[in-house]
Chain A
Amino acid sequence: MGILKRITEWATSPWGQSVPIHVAWFLIWVAGIAGLLFLMVHATYVRYFARAEEFAASDAPVPAAELPARIPRHSLAARSFHWIMAAAMFTLLFTAFLPKLGVQFNWVTYHWIAGTVLAVSIIFHVIHASFWLDFWAIWPDREDLVDAWRRVQRFMGHPAPPPRKFAKYPLENKLYHGAIIATGLSAIGTGVFMMFRVRTIFFPRNPYLFSDMTWGLMYVLHGLAGMGLIALVMVHVYFAIRPEKLDITKSMVFGTMRREFYLKHYDPQRWALEVQRSGSIRADREK
C-alpha cells in the first residue's frame, strides 16, 4: 500500500471514503527520464563496449543466389496496422500528457477518438495475425531462451557457444511486443470503461457504472499504463533510428529488407521464405 500511495493521488469521496483518483503526475518525468537513461546507457554500451555480433553457422545455409535482392518482411496490411497504431499511440500520448505539462488544448475528444482507432486497429491486428500470419512468430520459444542464455553467458565472459541467428523476430522484439501488449491492453481496457465518464458517440454516459474505489483504481491503472508507454515508445523510436537497425525500420516502410541483411542476421531455418509457384517469395508466414 505504501508504494501505491506514493505513486497515486487520493481524495475523500462525498461519502467519506478515501479513494485513489489518478496516478501521481510526477511519474511523467520518471517515465521520460527512465526512457532517456536507457537510451544513453544503451548507446554508450554499443559505442564503446559492445563486441561484434557473432552467430553460430546455420545448419542449412541458403545460397544468396536463390534469394531475391529484396526479402519481403511485412505485408501492406501489417505495415498499415503498424503506422495507424503508431499515429494513434502518439496522439494518445500527446493528448494525455501535454496538458499536464502546461500545453492547454481541447484534448479529450482527440484522445478518445485516437483510443478508438487504436482499439479497432488492434482488433484488426489480432485477426490478421491469427489467420493470415504465423500467430506464434512473435512469441518467445525455447530456442530464443537457449540463445538468450548463451548471449548472457558470453556477455559475462563465460564460455558458451555463439547463439543462432534470429527467427523473424529477435527475442528483444518479442519481449517488447509482450510489454506493449500488457501496457496497451491495460490502457485500452480501462480506457473503454473511462469513455462511460465522458460524452462519446458510443455509450450513454454513466459515471455510476462502478464504485468510486473501482473507478479510482481504473484511472490509476490507465495512468500507469500511459506512463509505461511513454518509456516504451521512446525506446522503440530509439531502436528504429539506430543505424544498425535501419534495415528493419525501412522494411516497416517499404515491406522488404536487403538480402545481405537477412543473410547476416536471420536463420533461414527459423524464418523460412516460402517460394511460391510463381517464383515470387512470401515471407510473412514463418516456418
Chain B
Amino acid sequence: MAGGLDSFDWLKDRIKRPKVLVDLSGIAELRGIRTTDGGIEIGALTTLTEIVNHPVIREQYGLLAEAGELIASPQIRNQGTIGGNVSQDTRCWYYRSGWPCYRAGGNICYADTPTGRNREHAILHAERCVAVNPSDSAPALIALDAKFVIQTSKGERIVDAEDYFIGPDIDITRLHILKPGDLLTAIRVPSTWARARFYFEKVRDRNVWDFPLMNVASAMHVSGDTIEGIRLAVNGAAARPLRLKAVEDAVRGKAATPATGEMAGKLAVQGAVPLQFNAYKIPLMRNLVKRAIGGVEEAKWAS
C-alpha cells in the first residue's frame, strides 16, 4: 500500500480482506524527484502534489503536471502517489461492489449485459470484462515515453509505460503487469519529449472532482506547422490506456490542421464497439484526439 487511497476503499467496504498489509510509506528511497542525465526519475511514492509543483516538471514536462493537477482533489493529491495512480484498480461499480464478475474471479460481466449500467465503460478492446482504467497520469506518461522501474524477485525490470498496462485479454483480474511480490519503484521520464508541444484534456461528469470519462494526452515535436514527431494516448476507452500508434503514424509529417485532426479522430475510433449506454464515447474520443492534434490551436478551428 502506498498512499492507500484505492486500498482503503476496498478495505472499508470489507470487500478485500487481506491477511497482511504492507505499508510502503516509510521507504524514503521510493520518494522524490531526481534529475538525471537522460531526464528525470520520479519515485513511485512521490505524491501527486509534489509532481504538480515540481519546477522541472512544470517547466519541461508540463504534460505530466497538467494531468496531475486534474487528478481528484487537492487533499487526495496530497496523499495519493504517482505509483498508486498508475496502479489503481478500475472503478467499475459492479466489480467494486464485490460482485463475482470476471475481474473478481467469477464468470460474468454484469456491466456488459442488456440492462447493465455501462455508461463509463469500454468502447475498445473489451474482452469479457468492459471495465476501463481510471488513471489520468497514465496517458501523460505514455505520451512522454516514460519507463517504469519494477523490482521483482528476480531483479529489476524496466518496461515502457504502455507495456505496464494490460487488458482483460491478457489477465482479466489485473490492470497492470505487477504480480504478487513485484513492486513499482520509480518512473523515468526521458528528456526526448521535454518542452515538446503538449496537450492534455480530461472529460468528467463533475469538473470539481471526478474520475475521467475519458482523457487524452499528446506530446508533439512541431516544425512550423508540420508534425515531426508525436506520441498520443487516451484513457477511459479500454481496460488499459491506449497509445494510438496508428494515429501517430498517420499524422507524422502532416500539418497540424483541422483536416489532419479530423482524420486522426476518425482513425482513433476505428473498431470501437459501444455498449448500451456509452455510445457517446465514440464522438468524445474522436473529438479529443482531434483536439490533441491541434493542441491549443484547435479552439480556433471552425467546428
Contacts and interface: CB of A to CB of B under 8 A. Distances in A.
Residue of A9, A13, A104, A199 ringed by the most chain B CB atoms within 10 A: A104
A161 interface: no
A106 B107 contact: no
Give the dominant DSSP class at B's interface: loop
A60 to B, nearest CB: 58
Nearest to B116: A207
Nearest to A107: B169
Contact of B110 (A11, A14, A104, A206): A14
A108 B105 contact: no
Nearest to A25: B105
B171 interface: yes
A21 B110 contact: no
Interface residues of A, number: 25
B100 interface: yes
Nearest to B113: A207
Nearest to B98: A12
A21 B127 contact: no
Residue of B100, B110, B127, B170 ringed by the most chain A CB atoms within 10 A: B100
Given A21-B100, A207-B108, A197 B128 contact: yes
Contacts of B170: 104-106
B105 A205 contact: no
B169 A106 contact: yes
Contacts of B69: none
Contacts of A208: 113-114
A108 B128 contact: yes
A12 B112 contact: no
B10 interface: no
B224 interface: no
Interface in B201-254: none
Contacts of A215: 107-108
Contact of B128 (A198, A212, A219): A198
B99 A14 contact: yes
Interface in A163-221: 197-199, 205-208, 212, 215-216, 219
B98 to A, nearest CB: 8
B26 interface: no
B109 interface: yes
A108 B110 contact: no
A74 interface: no
A22 interface: yes
Contacts of B100: 11-13, 19, 21
B116 to A, nearest CB: 9
B27 to A, nearest CB: 28
Interface in A1-56: 9, 11-14, 19, 21-22
B181 interface: no
A212 B169 CA distance: 23
B106 interface: yes
A63 B113 CA distance: 69
Contacts of B112: 205, 207
A216 B113 contact: no
A9 B105 contact: yes
B127 A197 contact: no
B127 A106 contact: yes
A197 B107 contact: yes
Contact of A21 (B97, B107, B113): B107
A108 B126 CA distance: 12
A21 B106 contact: yes
Given A21-B100, A197-B128, A207-B113, A108 B106 contact: no
A207 B127 CA distance: 14
Contacts of B114: 206, 208
Contacts of B166: 104
Contacts of A21: 100, 105-107
Contact of A108 (B99, B108, B113, B169): B169
Interface of A: 9, 11-14, 19, 21-22, 99, 104-106, 108-109, 197-199, 205-208, 212, 215-216, 219
Given A199-B126, A206-B114, A207-B112, 19 more contacts: A9-B105, A11-B100, A11-B104, A12-B100, A13-B100, A14-B99, A19-B100, A21-B100, A21-B106, A22-B107, A104-B166, A104-B171, A105-B170, A106-B169, A108-B127, A109-B169, A197-B107, A197-B128, A208-B113
24 contacts: A11-B100, A11-B104, A11-B105, A11-B106, A14-B97, A14-B99, A19-B100, A21-B100, A21-B107, A99-B171, A104-B171, A105-B170, A106-B127, A109-B169, A197-B107, A197-B108, A198-B127, A198-B128, A205-B112, A206-B114, A208-B113, A212-B108, A215-B107, A215-B108
